Amino acid sequence: MRLNEVDYSDGAPIDGYGPGFFRVGGQVVTGGLLVAPGLTPAVWGGYDDAAPLLALSGSVDVLLVGTGAEIAHIPADLRAALEETGIGVEIMASPAACRTYNVLLSEGRRIGLAARPVA
């Protein structure tokens, strides 16, 4: 069997997560997480912190929104504002969002992740 090393040349992958934190490229981020290619992993303030998400317009095609341990709806006005700027929005539980982000990042996709921590 041949194994290929995954190349994350466009950004740092999500290394892990746990109660209240994410680990991205060896760096621990406590609380919510915002990460995208070319962006230093940052703390995301949650659904009321829309400005950094909207600033991704033009640099990402899709924003994965991790809603915590379970999948949940995001505020309709946040979703509408993101879609108006041309950012596609995919909602999922944060663990699934982290895995999906890593796969799409390894494919060189223009992907972003805003995730709430698991409890």
Domain boundaries, the chain: 14-115
pTM: 0.92
CB 117 within 8 Å of CB 20 = yes
What is the average pLDDT across 62-86?
98
Domain spanning 14-115: CATH 3.40.50.10490? no
DSSP, collapsed to helix, strand or coil, labels residue 88 as strand
The model's confidence at residue 2, banded by pLDDT at 50, 70 and 90, is low
Answer whether residue 105 shows pLDDT above 70. yes
pLDDT one-digit tens code per residue, 24-57: 989 999 999 999 988 899 999 999 999 999 999 9
Say what percent of the chain tops pLDDT 90: 85
pLDDT of the residue at 4: 63
- The rounded distance, in Å, linking the Cα atoms of 14 and 52 is 19
Answer whether residue 75 shows pLDDT above 70. yes
